[in-house]
Structure 1
């Protein structure tokens, strides 16, 4: 994290969150500075150590450092959650669709997968629910990531015994579409028009119109080329998980906390900070108004992407999302599109 970004976070917390505001005790002695508290919290997230590992560096006791961490994660979610843990805006979708078009997947807005976070101090009564076989208890994160590693969707808290399909049934990833509140996208693949954006996924996900998997045993040059490109592009979400764990060792190491709510706050705060770093590294930061990212906001009709108003009732929209015939047709068109776009390139070409 660059220093200006960290100082911006410290400034927002010190002005808008009471715990981080400077104060004095009854004797007139100044309290810990906002910089001390934020540094203690960010070091715990970045290095994954215990609360007592920052006592010499920022002169905080173990209990105070742990308190700083929990107030810091809650403050990050409160101040930056609407902006950095949002669904894609029309501008975002337009950019994602353009990137997908360039990579050979028109209408693709990201890749979806799950990651397990080990829960070391899981309560004994819950271990059976969170442990799969003889493995240790874990909590699952379902995420959607784009090529720049921005995480657009995060659903955290499912027990580790669930697989990707069980988590998908509980996840709100398609709630906006089913409820008729999602932006509608229009794109063409192989000369055919489609209206539902899709995610690239691995083989466990169902054959819905909103998922495109690779071909398990590809036969022929077209299928082999499609499988290669799908598997390459789908690695975006795997890369996002790797970078998230590299930046914040707290989500790579087993969690020592007992409270699942606090664990969830840490994961969400790390994802928000990760997205802030991604945006900062783009070197094209634009200040947004947080009200723009509230659910149910009206969209300017001049945008290419518009609200869905004609998909019918909830049952019809659910059936459209799970349309297997539409999935197969889209996949066949994508195979032809990939071949037309990259079929003339040498076999060792890597985009």
Structure 2
């Protein structure tokens, strides 16, 4: 186990080193184990970019009155090379936060002695809030080689990633996530925060407890999954070779120019607008409360099963009606090549031609 302090504290290694004052900013290099590296930081922003070295380079900038007291720890954890930033306090105020701000907002978790943290298991209880006297954050710039996968864990802070080309997992408790021009499998999980993905090649999974999700230009994916407990979802120009799933507990769903053999859109409460790029495949839309609008591509051909619990059904396209009664409709457009099922507990259903 190797430990470093940011300033004025000894560096402990395999041999005894003299006391040395480290600069306010330092770079730590990690040699990947099994092609993967994990980074844990309680507070601060993270910028992820493509690296040119064979090692993962992490540029760390401590901030706040107590930033110099933060400790970095490196070494193998469960066989994986890792960097953990340790905060030596039980209550922590993000650097720059005004102590007079609303103190009702806080994040509470468990931090182990090695710097890792989670919501429930192991370690001491740590509370992040504006009323704490200990003030510190650590901003990171992470440069990742093209052949190394990254697991990033941030409790409170925004994450930005651009131009990376390998598997990446981003996990935050509270903070926005923005990515652009990325490749490889991308997994984003945030408890509270907006997620924006602009340009991605590969599988994509986004899960946020509360926050909006905006995704565009996703290709070469087998599966795409977008999930938010509360928040709107906007997807444009997204294609998958297996499944595309959008699920929101409460929030509007807008999905344009999407394509997959199986497309599933589900919202507990919120309107849905969906515009697939082709007539092939299967589309299922389910909303507990909210109108559904299907914008059909040219030469649309589908077998329709529609249930509108309380709301009308309207189509601008000619339908061959097979069954129609009490908000239930079985019909066919063209030869019925695609399969479309739409169900809404409360809200109308409209089918329109793409202009």
Higher relative CO (Cα under 8 Å, sequence separation at least 6) belongs to 1
Same fold by TM-score, threshold 0.5 exceeded?
no
Task: Indicate the structure with greater helix content.
Answer: 1
Q: Which has the larger radius of gyration?
A: 2
Q: TM-score if structure 1 supplies the norm length?
A: 0.26
Q: TM-score, normalised by structure 2?
A: 0.25
